[in-house]
Amino acid sequence: MRCPSCGDDRCVIIEESETHQKGFGFFKGCCGYILMGPIGWMCGLCGMGEGHTVQKAYFVCQNYGRKFRA
């Protein structure tokens, strides 16, 4: 991978992961209850504590330590 800034090819690929935690299910549970009754409430609660992780790849230029989106 070549650095778009200085053209050096010693860039190193790194991966960062971000975890997005879903906000609690109480509000969603309420909405679900209004829409679908007890089943909706359960669905709202099921979403609790569930998060998803996003992997992002970057490459870092050895010259400046600059970080670029891959």
Q: What residue ranges bind Zn ion (CB under 5 A)?
A: 3, 5-6, 8, 61, 63
CB of 66 to Zn ion, least distance (A): 6
Which is it for strands 51-60 and 12-21: parallel, antiparallel or unpaired?
A: antiparallel
**Two structure tokens written together for 28:** 């969603």
Closer residue to Zn ion (CB): 63 or 67: 63
Closer residue to Zn ion (CB): 31 or 60: 60
Cα–Cα distance for residue pair 60/70, rounded to 1 Å: 9
CB of 64 to Zn ion, least distance (A): 6
